[in-house]
Structure 1
């Protein structure tokens, strides 16, 4: 029932083009309450099924313009649901080798093939969204787990297989999160953490934990996200430079979401210092995308969230002037931060023009992240609804 209520709340909220923060305000207004006893994080918990609205249910229904029964009624499926981890892996411990292995004996070449397939998924994720990649990602993960459990191999080859399971779990979890399947993403990440522990690979474990921390931070569980991000950094102290830079980026983002500006800026500075230590040494292939440009993107996002548009806007414009237009999802995301920063800089006309590009780019992208950013941008532009360009955009969307 909790899952049904959460799905209905989210569906009705999105129909109205409201952000979670907007719905929280509307619930408080309907309830006649001062301040914000219900905030964005609470709405996020309702939608993800972590909490049940209970006494808030009638106020939620009134705010959304439906009956309380409509919030608890099952939704008719409108499309084929995305697969889940349970659809692809056995119910028992998926990393437990079979007592009597019947598969062929395999060598290091099989692990190398899996690594190439994981890297192929990462490259696909650069240009495709989570909703398009969920099934192939889980199929690849299932294949790797099956090989590890059923085939015979040496201990060293077994460890290499586990490492590839971790890599596949990281990219599959990221893809699931992008598709809005956050509970599935967490299950996948935790499978990867188990495999990293078995493989005794602290760097990969940090990457998985950092990915989970990033999701927790972005879905409202900010304190837990910060705790996880810090743990990923501490537990992988011997990680190569670009991995440490990535971990510090996630720490900076978590601090930003808790409103802690100075710790966020310190973490960004430390990330740049870590990246500067990279001197062409051999590093895991999954770090290929961590570079100065990626750190600049995070810096600009941090400045946007901290409402420092004079710093955010030039950084974002610089990033966007060099960005690969084939990476539609990321382009839409970065433009969404620019739209918000322009609104904060009291440039509503340019913000509206940028927001229109975001909406156009996002229209055919099966990504929950871009959908959420569209909602954030539109909510931010509500403050300028009397500006003709903004009014025209909001009317078009409506």
Structure 2
């Protein structure tokens, strides 16, 4: 945190901008930015992005290097177990922060580089839960962090094409989430597994899993519910069930519109926004044989997508290419596919490779 705080301050000073001016440019208060630059508050990803956009320069360490540094540095959980002290709230806070950082690294670091780091963090968290001494509230937080790490590990393993490993990781996370009495997280784990099954196995099984996740997510917040319903829509589209898909997509829109600043959403739905919802709707349209409806949704979403999220950009371009190919616009399809290949080369992924091959076979 101190290193990144110093980097933010150094970048601002190099641009000869005062803290007051930076506050104006980023729309964050001057006292808040002062706390961040002095290392007293953790720099959130959106704050770093605001600095980068205001100054026009990249800030912070290379994300791939950060993932590798994870493998050679001790987790707070390791130090805690070595000391033999009772686990307190401060360690739970530290573990939560590491989960968030790893989750955001998944946006910009390929699965080959990230998976070992996530696996290690998960193993250390599981060992802490197994061997540590803590109060019941702290224990629930540790179990929740373990479940979130298992979900992330499963997601990254699936992206790497390790489907059996991913399934085991997802189900181990369900056990932790249930012990923590976190129904929404358990539903997210089952829903993530549903997404994998829809893509590589029997989509009817995926639809059952996705529906079960929705039913089991008692008291889910609006954005969580929207995410779970998206997985129902995708499984429905893969089974070619137009009614199921249409109802699920309508329910996604309804749930997302119910979000509010007064409702605290879990951090793991940070990425779900209107553009992501439109991308899923476009993909469903292609699966159901209506590619002409997909193109405007995909084009708009891709135009505003962060360039450094290369894997997602490549995947979404592959769907745009497919929408063009299926409407006979082969030149546009080839151009979109060429762009998809360029992004895929920056962040290789088994999932992306499979998609590009599928679209190439349509040409």
User: TM-score normalized by structure 1?
Assistant: 0.69
Point out 4+ residue stretches in structure 1 off by more than 3 angstroms. Answer: none
Name the structure 2 match of 1:379: 361
> Aligned partners of 2:212, 2:194: CA distance in 1, in Å?
9
Q: Does 1:309 align with 2:262?
A: no
Which of 89, 96, 101 aligns to 1:108? It is: 89
1:354-365 counterparts in 2 under 5 A? 354-365=336-347
* Cα shift readout 1:117-138 (whole Å, capped 9, x = no counterpart): 1111111011112122110010
Output aligned runs, 1:118-157, within 5 Å: 118-157=99-138
- SS, match of residue 126 in structure 1: coil
Instruction: Provide the rounded CA distance (Å) in 2 between the counterparts of 1:263 and 1:174.
Output: 25
SS at match of 2:134: coil
Residue deviations 1:247-288, cap 9 Å, x none? Answer: 000000000000001210110110110011101121211111
The answer to whether the aligner puts 1:284 opposite 2:266 as a matched pair is: yes
Q: Which whole-Å deviations, capped at 9, do the CAs of 1:357-393 have from their partners, x for residues lacking one? A: 1122212423111000111111111xxxxxxxxxxxx
Answer whether contact 2:96 2:145 (CA < 8 A) is retained: yes
Is 1:297–1:316's contact at 8 Å kept on the other side of the alignment?
yes
Q: What's 1:72 paired with?
A: none
**Could you tell me how far apart the structure 1 residues matched to 2:276 and 2:335 are?**
25
Task: Tell me, yes or no, if structure 1 residue 300 matches structure 2 residue 289.
Answer: no
Matched, 1:319 2:308: no
Residue 330 of structure 1 corresponds to 312
1:179 aligns with 2:182: no
Contact kept in structure 2, 1:207 and 1:232, CA below 8 Å: yes
The CA distance in 2 between the partners of 1:227 and 1:104, in whole Å, is 44
Q: Is 1:117 paired with 2:98?
A: yes
Q: In structure 2, what is the Cα distance between the partners aligned to 1:162 and 1:196?
A: 6
Aligned length: 281
Relative contact order: is structure 1 or structure 2 higher (C-alpha 8 Å, sep ≥ 6)?
A: 1
1:219-238 matches, within 5 Å, as 219-238=200-219
Q: Distance in 1 between matches of 2:218 and 2:328?
A: 43
Structure 1, unpaired ranges of 5+: 1-100, 382-398
* Separation in structure 2 between the aligned mates of residue 106 and residue 119 of structure 1, nearest angstrom: 20
Q: Is the 8 A contact 1:206 1:236 kept in 2?
A: yes
Alignment of 1:200-219 (within 5 A): 200-219=181-200
C-alpha distance in 2 between matches for 1:142 and 1:343: 45
Aligned pair 1:257/2:265, yes or no? Answer: no
1:135-157, Cα deviation, whole Å (9 max, x unpaired): 00101101111111122111111
CA contact (8 A) 2:310 2:346 kept: no
1:208 is displaced (CA, Å) by 0.5
Aligned alpha-carbon RMSD (Å)? 1.3
C-alpha distance in structure 2 between counterparts of 1:240 and 1:253, whole Å? 20
Of residues 362-371 and 271-280 in structure 1, the stretch that sits farther from structure 2 once superposed is 362-371
2:169 corresponds, among 158, 166, 188, to: 188
The 5 Å alignment of 1:334-353 reads 334-353=316-335
Query: How far does the alpha carbon of each residue in 1:56-95 deviate from its partner, in whole angstroms, 9 at most, with x for none?
Result: xxxxxxxxxxxxxxxxxxxxxxxxxxxxxxxxxxxxxxxx
**Mapped partners of 1:118, 1:307: distance in 2:** 39
Contact kept? 2:122, 2:150, Cα under 8 Å: yes
My pick for the range that moved more, 190-199 or 103-112, is 103-112
* Counterparts of 1:131 and 1:266, CA distance in 2: 37
CA–CA distance in structure 1, aligned partners of residues 84 and 162 of structure 2: 33
Contact 1:131-1:178 at 8 Å conserved across structures: no
Query: What is the distance in 2 between the residues matched to 1:245 and 1:185?
Result: 23
- Please identify, of 245-254 and 352-361, the stretch whose mean Cα deviation from structure 2 is larger: 352-361
Say whether the 8 Å CA contact 2:129–2:143 is kept in structure 1.
yes
